[in-house]
Amino acid sequence: MAGLRLHEKKALMALRSFDGKASVEDVAEKSGLAHATVMRAALTLSERNLVKIHERKWNVATLNEEGEDYAQYGLPERRLLRALLRLGGEASVDEAVREAGLAAEIVPIALGWLKRKNWGVIKGKKCMLNVKVEPSLGADEKLLATMFEKRSITIEDLSRELKQALETLRKRNLVELEEKVHRELELTEEGWRTAKKGLEITEEVTQLTPELITSGRWRNVKITKFDVAAPGPVVYPGKMHPLQQIIQRAREIFLEMGFMEIRGPLVETAFWNFDALFQPQDHPAREMMDTFYLAYPQKGRLPPQRLVEAVAKTHEDGWITGSKGWRYKWSHEEAKRLVLRTHTTAETIKYLATHRKPPIKVFSVDRVYRNEQVTYKHLAEFHQIEGIVADKNVTLRDLMGTLKTFYMKFGLEKIEFWPSYFPYTEPSAQVVAYHPKLERWIELGGMGMFRPEVLAPMRIKCPVLAWGTGLERLAMIELGLDDVRMLYANSLGWLRRTPLCQ
């Protein structure tokens, strides 16, 4: 028959010699092929309807070393029981253990099971039997003896009672379970027809070697055809975590758009996290509810006094900005408090304090912390995609265009900007994106133009566009997740299934 390989032919011929029916082991022995090779050949032959594979599965149990030990010397509780009987039914635990010759590590087991089987009780350091004569062997002990004698038993053949006994022994960690499979091959009618014709067995090679060529032997061998459509084994190569891939992409897109990356520390003073952004010191977001304050050290250092005073004045009465300020007494001590930064806007404003010359285009993709209830859309530790553009004559339109371009490069088309409020921007907006799986718009983050109250203390004269949006929310859309916690769950199945970014 055309297309059969050497191994398949050999297996077929071996089956013929067994009258068309034999176990895989027998075929392997007869044909001289390895067991696995016969199985592979059998699969192909069965696909071609030349062979039928009959499979029988059953489960066997064998005793492990400890089990064998108990089978020979008796279960620890039985040994303790016998010792106590010899001692007149009552003795101190130490004495009974000595009499029974139990090793220290099995004493608790012996005592526990003595009580469980209701053979005796332990009162303080004393051990007393509930029985006068020795109770007969339980199902667990009988099974133990049978298993020792027979080496292994078939679970399916056990009675209900013995199955239960086996379960007890398994829980006591005395047995090993194993599934056995027996496979028998049988020629089909078509298989018989093929086998009867007799098959020409020519040597097959999978590789053309120099030896074959120089010796001329290549003329007589058959070169195996590869089945390129055959399914191969699934492999799970190491790869970057999907979230890391998205961070990388976000970075690359900003770099592509002419931005420079900046980074700052996770721990910031309240000054940079809040005050420099014109958030009053009694702003609700500062409260313990949302912000993680450091217990030790509690305070950090403030920047040069000129800047601090300008921020203080702006908060108190608006300073030179034309604003009335928040009208309260600004506290240096409050501004010194250290926090886990609640947003990366702390880094962009800090950058502006020392880089005043436009044009400025910087971004950061980094971690922030908020004391939030963790839910399907909230995490307490997450990433923000932050950035600013500072230049003469830039407007809100430029900001919308920049963000639209960024998300478009990410592949997100459905982006909208909705009005919003932040104490440090005017106008302010929120960026929302459509989540196809949740079938609704979700908030990605905030944006706006820094207010004069923010810019004046930094001595910035040109308009500054700013935004800070959530990375995990973006990842949810990108990866089709309806629960943000999946990103940190380390679920191997999900990690394996999630393809690499394009």
Which positions touch ligand PHE (CB under 6 A)?
343, 345, 422, 425, 445-448, 466-468
State both tokens at 1: 């028959």
Start-to-end CA span in the chain (Å): 46
DSSP-derived 3-state class of residue 321: coil
Closest residue to ligand PHE: CB criterion: 446
Distance (Å, whole) CA 426 – CA 454: 11
Distance (Å, whole) CA 393 – CA 397: 11
Q: Which is nearer to ligand PHE, 319 or 467 (CB)?
A: 467
Cβ 263 vs Cβ 251: under 8 Å: no
Q: Which is nearer to ligand PHE, 44 or 345 (CB)?
A: 345
Give the distance, in angstroms, between the CA of residue 221 and the centroid of all CA atoms in the same chain: 50
Q: Which is nearer to ligand PHE, 113 or 422 (CB)?
A: 422
Measured from the CB of residue 430, what is the shortest distance to ligand PHE in angstroms? 8
Measured from the CB of residue 345, what is the shortest distance to ligand PHE in angstroms? 4
DSSP-derived 3-state class of residue 81: helix
Measured from the CB of residue 465, what is the shortest distance to ligand PHE in angstroms? 9
Measured from the CB of residue 384, what is the shortest distance to ligand PHE in angstroms? 6
Measured from the CB of residue 340, what is the shortest distance to ligand PHE in angstroms? 13
Q: 222-223 and 204-205: which strand pairing?
A: parallel
DSSP-derived 3-state class of residue 349: helix
Q: Which of 7, 96, 84 is nearest to 51 (CA)?
A: 7
Measured from the CB of residue 388, what is the shortest distance to ligand PHE in angstroms? 8
Q: Which is nearer to ligand PHE, 242 or 468 (CB)?
A: 468
State both tokens at 171: 């829980």
From the CB of residue 174, how many other CB atoms can be counted at a distance below 10 Å? 24
- Cis before residue 359, ω within 30 degrees of 0? yes
Q: Which is nearer to ligand PHE, 7 or 370 (CB)?
A: 370
Measured from the CB of residue 486, what is the shortest distance to ligand PHE in angstroms? 22
From edge to edge, which strands make up the β-sheet containing 464-470?
260-261, 360-369, 381-390, 464-470, 440-450, 425-435, 415-419
Residue linked to tokens 């907006």: 429
Distance (Å, whole) CA 38 – CA 215: 30
Cβ 255 vs Cβ 402: under 8 Å: no
Phi and psi, residue 482, nearest 5°: -105, 5
Measured from the CB of residue 266, what is the shortest distance to ligand PHE in angstroms? 15
Measured from the CB of residue 348, what is the shortest distance to ligand PHE in angstroms? 7
Q: Which is nearer to ligand PHE, 351 or 467 (CB)?
A: 467
Q: Which is nearer to ligand PHE, 31 or 345 (CB)?
A: 345
